Amino acid sequence: MARIVMKFGGTSMAGIERIRHVAGLVKREAERGNQVAVVVSAMAGETDRLVQLCREAASLYDPREYDVVVASGEQVTSGLLAITLQGMGLNARSYMGWQLPIRASGHAAALIDHIEAEVLERAFAAGGIAVIPGFQGVTELGDVATLGRGGSDTSAVALAVAMKADRCDIYTDVDGVYTTDPRIVPKARKLARITYEEMLELASVGAKVLQTRSVGLAMRYNMPLQVLSSFEDVPGTMIVADDAIEDRDMERNLITGIAYDKNEAMITLFGLPDESGTVAKIFGPLAEAGINVDVIVQSSPIEGQRSALTFTVPKASLDHCLDALARHKAEIGYDEIIHYTDVVKVSVVGVGMRSNPGVAAKMFQVLAERRINIFAISTSEIKVSVIIDMDYAELAVRVLHTAFGLDQEDAA
């Protein structure tokens, strides 16, 4: 007997017919004698719809109330799956975040502090299947909190850790992790295995197949994680520790994958005073507003002139960011502010980069050959990211995928 968390994403839960299919997969796992907790997402498109309603209600909405609204999608699907399982004769029950409880701090991108496993233990002891809405927790004050977009993955891994599960299976609408998004590059290759570290980096630069935090959590607790399809019964991708890949040197590519992120906005502040403390005055208020800043580029001023600073923030934080900067304009002392939303961040990722120089140079060369202009660059030990015009997103990913030798061999 094994203890398993099965997580189903939005497309897998989109409608009663899909939910019935999911119930069949859960039933199969339970009939193998396993103890199963199921974590579900809202139906595909539902969270987007709820977020849009909040925006329409007020552009600078209160995050507490946003959570009240957006958490509702998962409540619906968890109840529906429990009803469907019961209809199949199984002993299933849904448990909301506050009922376990899943304790969390903050709003809109809340962090999980602790999950009580006692309720689940009792359910398992009685031979039951627990269905839990992903994406939600409860704060110290008893308010509903949500974990950021894609957060059901993190709910699933956190739950797997709390109940000491043998593995956490993430069922989605693709049959594994690919070298890049298979929806935009048909030549993308499925990876049988990928390390936690590489998956973490790929997810953090936009490969939304897993929420970044879920991978970090799995890595920290060494929780076996698997990505597989809820549509097709084929092997998925295992996410494993670095030392589990023995044939790394002989068989692996320099680059593991390429990701893109269309959810960033770029902001440039012109006419900044060339003196110490200016950058701190800009990012201090943004940190206070809970805004994550990503790529940062500062132009060095010519003697005696003022400088410019460019950075990116999630599009969802743009209004809050512009508001914070406007409120601190006098203190920061900039002349002008411009923002762009038609940009994309394209990143190449691979641990092989550590020992092989020249990845960035090759990336810039490949983009230059296609006359794709680079607005900003950022790098880490195993990643190079560039910000470019949104119109070139697909083209850039495709040409880089080919240039780094990632295309499927038998692809046309």
- Give the binding site for ligand ADP (CB under 6 A): 9-12, 41, 150, 172-174, 177-178, 180-183, 207-209, 257
Alpha carbon 301 to its chain's center: 36
Within 57-96, the residues that bind ligand ASP by CB under 6 A are: 73
Name beta bridge partners: 190.
178
Measured CA to CA, the distance from residue 271 to residue 308 in angstroms comes to 6
CB nearer to ligand ASP: give 44 or 289: 44
Helix residue spans in 72-211 (DSSP H): 72-87, 118-125, 152-162, 196-204
- Tell me which stretch binds ligand ASP (CB under 6 A): 149-157, 240-248, 273-281, 387-395: 149-157
Element (H, E) at 300: none
Measured CA to CA, the distance from residue 232 to residue 236 in angstroms comes to 10
- The residue from 11, 12, 139, 152 that contacts ligand ASP (CB under 6 A) is 152
CB nearer to Mg ion: give 9 or 350: 9
* Angle made by CA atoms 227, 177, 371, in degrees to the nearest 5: 155
CB nearer to Mg ion: give 40 or 351: 40
CB of 81 to ligand ADP, least distance (A): 14
Amino acid at 361: A
CB of 348 to ligand ADP, least distance (A): 12
Q: How many residues does the chain have?
A: 412
CB of 210 to Mg ion, least distance (A): 7
Helix residue spans in 222-340 (DSSP H): 248-251, 278-288, 318-327, 329-332
219 contact choice in ligand ASP, ligand ADP, Mg ion, none (CB below 5 to 8 Å, kind-dependent): none
Considering only CA atoms, give the Rg of the chain.
23
Within 285-324, the residues that bind ligand ASP by CB under 6 A are: none
CB of 391 to ligand ADP, least distance (A): 19
Measured CA to CA, the distance from residue 32 to residue 303 in angstroms comes to 73
Main-chain phi, psi angles of 92, to 5 degrees: -125, 150
CB nearer to Mg ion: give 97 or 128: 97
CB nearer to Mg ion: give 9 or 236: 9
CB of 171 to ligand ASP, least distance (A): 12
CB nearer to ligand ADP: give 320 or 383: 383
Name beta bridge partners: 267.
311, 339
Binding flags for ligand ASP, 3-42, as an x/- string (CB under 6 A)? ------xx------------------------------xx
- Tell me which stretch binds ligand ASP (CB under 6 A): 59-67, 150-158, 187-195, 248-256: 150-158
Within 207-246, the residues that bind ligand ASP by CB under 6 A are: none
Q: Which residues contact 140 (CB under 8 A, 6 or more apart)?
A: 103, 105
134 contacts ligand ASP (rule: CB under 6 A): yes
Compute CA distances 18 → 9, 44, 182, whole Å: 11, 11, 22
CB nearer to ligand ASP: give 39 or 269: 39
Prior bond to 182 cis, omega within 30?
no
CB of 103 to ligand ADP, least distance (A): 23
* Angle made by CA atoms 154, 352, 349, in degrees to the nearest 5: 45
Residues that bind ligand ASP in the complex, under the rule CB under 6 A? 9-10, 41-42, 47, 73, 134-135, 149-153
